[in-house]
């Protein structure tokens, strides 16, 4: 078996967001000789406070900028000569993509195109096999599963249904084509729903924790019977690193936690954890705050990942169960009220008012 690919410098995009910042923390903690160049333009979803504990660490270089800026990306590649580019940056929220898809086209499609072009020119300057590009994608590109259908394998057809998943699918197709046509060493990962520290409270799990503690309604779209397959974020980060090290260029790897849950079950589990770890003053359960609201247009019914390929070929498997991951997540949010306060000011309140009604802010 050949030795693992082991870069000393990696350009990470979107490393101030939820998964990207967890990835930066995880790899810097585990790879002593690694330098990370972190390119992020700090949209509403990117927060430098996610990276505060890295202040003064010379192995982390933060650059504020746009992945669609060709001059900037080319100059970063020339200056730092990374051996890998791990592309997390994206507009990532389905509900926002329904209200305004333009930014999704720009960042997810145009931005990925730009990175691929810059990476192609850069790889030509390095020895063969000296560079890898990793495209971080989602299970949502596969579309919606029937209740009894087997989970998505890597062979599943792309059938994106939301503006978000359509732009991620377009980006994945570009990455595939850059491998097939130009020989760029591209690896693609398609992961299920993540949760954990630094999760922006517009997504279901952090939104529910945040609103529960404020005594607000916990909005469940439609009948709450939609199914998602949940993975603790650090498990995802380790899987991405494993694919970068040992994946075969041109291949796709599905990443998931074998944790299919209905939304209603997820919210009830969160309420039970909060009841135990931070009980309501009146002694009642947080579950009393659950409220059913209008469904998301075009809401995908079920996602589920078959993660056997990455386990079989690369030896990765999740370390957290859903129960242990949820408890760690609730604990993290209870311990970081300042982080929550910082990220839920200004633009966040505007979004909540638009999505859930002015009275819910
Ligand atoms: P996020 O929205 O929390 O973070 C995205 C980050 O990208 C932010 O820091 C933002 O500032 C940055 N960004 C956005 N546009 C940019 C631009 N034009 N230039 C530079 N930076 C820009 O997203 P996330 O949940 O951390 O997701 C990261 C990646 O993982 C995305 O590609 C997403 O599709 C994928 N993914 C997410 C999940 C999930 O459950 N969250 C699951 C599977 C795959
Ligand atoms: P979300 O966290 O937005 O992730 P995704 O849409 O990418 O799967 O939503 C997870 C599920 O929770 C999804 O089925 C929509 C549902 N949901 C609600 O029921 N209420 C909410 O307020 C939010 C944000 C999501």
pLDDT at residue 348 is higher than 90: no
CA 323 to chain centre: 20
Q: Rounded to the nearest whole angstrom, what is the distance from the C-alpha of residue 276 to the centroid of ligand 1?
A: 32
Give the C-alpha distances (Å, rounded to integers) separating 282 from 215, 272, 279. 11, 15, 8
Ligand lying nearest the CA atom of residue 110? 1
Closest atom of ligand 2 to CA, residue 355: 22
pLDDT at residue 17 is higher than 90: yes
Map tokens 């249904």 to a residue.
161
What's the pLDDT band for 361 if we cut at 50, 70, 90? low
pTM for this prediction: 0.98
335 occurs within a structural domain: no
43 occurs within a structural domain: yes
Ligand lying nearest the CA atom of residue 216? 2
Alpha-carbon dihedral angle through residues 171, 176, 181, 184, given to the nearest 10 degrees: 90
User: CATH number of the domain that 31 lies in?
Assistant: 3.40.50.720
Q: Rounded to the nearest whole angstrom, what is the distance from the C-alpha of residue 284 to the centroid of ligand 1?
A: 36
Separation CA 132–CA 256 (nearest Å): 23
- pLDDT digit string, tens, across residues 286-310: 999 999 999 999 999 999 999 999 9
What's the pLDDT band for 141 if we cut at 50, 70, 90? very high
Q: Rounded to the nearest whole angstrom, what is the distance from the C-alpha of residue 165 to the centroid of ligand 2?
A: 14
Per-residue confidence (pLDDT) for residue 1, from 0 to 100: 53
213 occurs within a structural domain: no
346 occurs within a structural domain: no
- pLDDT digit string, tens, across residues 253-297: 999 999 999 999 999 999 999 999 999 999 999 999 999 999 999
210 occurs within a structural domain: no
Per-residue confidence (pLDDT) for residue 349, from 0 to 100: 86
Q: How many CA atoms lie within 13 A of 243 on its CB side?
A: 32
46 occurs within a structural domain: yes
Residues annotated catalytic, as ranges: 139-140, 164
SS3 334: helix
Closest atom of ligand 2 to CA, residue 220: 19
Q: To which H or E segment does residue 80 belong?
A: helix 70-80
**How many structural domains does the chain have?**
1
Q: Whose CA is nearest to atom 10 of ligand 2?
A: 204
- pLDDT digit string, tens, across residues 31-46: 999 999 999 999 999 9
Per the document, the length of the chain is 361
pLDDT at residue 187 is higher than 70: yes
pLDDT at residue 77 is higher than 60: yes
- Domain of residue 68, residue span: 9-197+231-255+300-319
Per-residue confidence (pLDDT) for residue 167, from 0 to 100: 98
As a whole number, the mean pLDDT across the chain is 97
Question: Ligand 1 pocket: which residues have CB below 6 Å?
Answer: 13-14, 16-20, 40-43, 45-46, 66-68, 88-92, 107, 111, 136, 138, 168, 191, 193-194, 200
Map tokens 């792309």 to a residue.
158
113 occurs within a structural domain: yes
> What does residue 96 show for φ and ψ, rounded to 5 degrees?
-65, -35
Separation CA 89–CA 266 (nearest Å): 27
Map tokens 């070929």 to a residue.
313
């Amino acid at each position: 078996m050949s030795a693992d690919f082991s870069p000393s410098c990696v350009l990470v995009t979107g490393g101030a967001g939820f998964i990207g910042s967890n990835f930066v923390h995880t790899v810097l903690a585990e790879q002593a000789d690694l330098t990370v160049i972190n390119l992020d333009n700090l949209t509403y979803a990117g927060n430098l406070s996610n990276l505060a504990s890295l202040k003064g660490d010379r192995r982390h270089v933060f650059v504020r900028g746009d992945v669609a800026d060709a001059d900037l990306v080319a100059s970063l590649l020339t200056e730092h000569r990374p051996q890998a580019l791990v592309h997390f940056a994206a507009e990532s929220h389905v509900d926002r993509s329904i209200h305004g898809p333009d930014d999704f086209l720009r960042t997810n499609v145009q931005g990925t195109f730009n990175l691929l072009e810059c990476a192609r020119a850069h790889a030509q300057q390095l020895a063969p096999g000296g560079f890898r590009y990793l495209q971080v994608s989602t299970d949502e590109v596969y579309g919606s599963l029937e209740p009894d259908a087997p989970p998505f394998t890597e062979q599943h057809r792309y059938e994106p249904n939301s503006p978000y998943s359509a732009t991620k699918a377009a980006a994945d197709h570009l990455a595939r084509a850059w491998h097939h046509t130009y020989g760029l060493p591209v690896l693609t990962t398609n992961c299920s729903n993540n949760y954990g520290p630094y999760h922006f409270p517009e997504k279901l799990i952090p939104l529910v924790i945040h609103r529960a503690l404020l005594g607000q309604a916990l909005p469940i779209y439609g009948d709450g019977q939609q199914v998602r397959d949940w993975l603790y974020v650090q498990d995802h980060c380790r899987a991405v690193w494993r694919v970068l090290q040992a994946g075969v260029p041109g291949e796709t790897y599905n990443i998931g936690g074998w944790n299919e849950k209905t939304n209603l079950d997820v919210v009830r589990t969160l309420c039970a954890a909060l009841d135990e770890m931070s009980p309501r003053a009146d002694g009642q359960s947080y579950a009393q705050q659950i409220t059913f609201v209008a469904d998301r247009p075009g809401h995908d019914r079920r996602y589920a990942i078959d993660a056997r390929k990455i386990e079989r070929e690369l030896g990765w498997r999740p370390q957290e169960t859903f129960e242990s991951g949820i408890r760690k997540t609730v604990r993290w949010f209870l311990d970081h009220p300042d982080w929550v306060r910082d990220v839920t000011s200004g633009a966040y309140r505007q979004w909540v008012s638009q999505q859930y009604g002015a009275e819910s802010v």
